[in-house]
Structures are given as structure tokens and as C-alpha cells.
A = this chain, B = another copy of it.
Amino acid sequence: MQKEIQTRLPLTEPMFFVLAALADGDKHGWGILKDVEDLTQGRVSLSPGTLYGIIKRLLEWEWIAESEQRPPQRWDDRRRKYYRLTDQGREAAQAEARRLQGAVDLARGKHLLRAPKGGPA
């Protein structure tokens, strides 16, 4: 199920946010959902169908993998499944981020967006 990352781009918004949520640490499905909501101040709210569909696909693509690490029993919940970003997955997220940056630059060139805080070079 491995394929060139480029052939999977552009990613959909939910897909990108799931990868971004996993970029700073392993999380379980429901935790990803909450993280994306927090990250976007509630603007992006994944429905369960979207979330678990994405997880399934990301596992097939080997962009994420099930994590064997679990929190101490006291705080664990056996229903949970934890996931971690693979190297492939991180590369994909970075590639998508660069693509998004390109689109933003283009928007600036077309005066659809104000100049960045730093000001013109």
C-alpha cells in the first residue's frame, strides 16, 4: 500500500489535522478528535466517520502505526488504541505544509492576503 507521497497530495483538511495532532506525541483516536478541536479553536470538528476512516487509511499507507506504548494502568482505558506518526507520515505532513505555504504565497501575490507580519524583505 506504499506509494509516493506526492501522489497522495493534496491532503484533505481533516487528514492534515490528524497528522498535525500526532506530530508532537502519540495519541488515541478520541484524543486526536479533541486535539483537532482545540488546535482550531473549535472550527474543525471531525465526525467519527471521518476520523476512523482516516485512521484506517493512514494505517494502510503506513503513515501512522499502532503504538505499543500505553499510559500506566491507573490512567489507561483498554478501549483506546494509540497511534504514532511514522517517518513517512512526518514527511507527508511536511510536504503538505510546504504545499500550503506555496498556496499562501500565491494568494499574497494576487493580493488576496495582506503581507506577513515581518513585512516585505
Q: Please list the residues of chain A having a beta carbon within 8 angstroms of any beta carbon in chain B.
A: 10, 13, 16-17, 20, 23-24, 39-40, 90, 93-94, 97-98, 100-104, 106-107, 110-113, 116-119, 121
The 10 closest A-B pairs by CB, nearest first: A118-B118, A97-B107, A23-B110, A97-B113, A97-B112, A10-B13, A94-B112, A100-B104, A93-B112, A100-B103
**A104 with B106: in contact, given A20-B112, A94-B113, A117-B118 (CB under 8 Å)?**
no
* Contact partners of A24 in chain B: CB under 8 A: 110-111
How many copies of this chain sit in the oligomeric assembly?
2
Does B10 lie within 8 Å of A107, measured CB to CB?
A: no
Shortest C-beta distance, A26 to chain B (Å), equals: 14
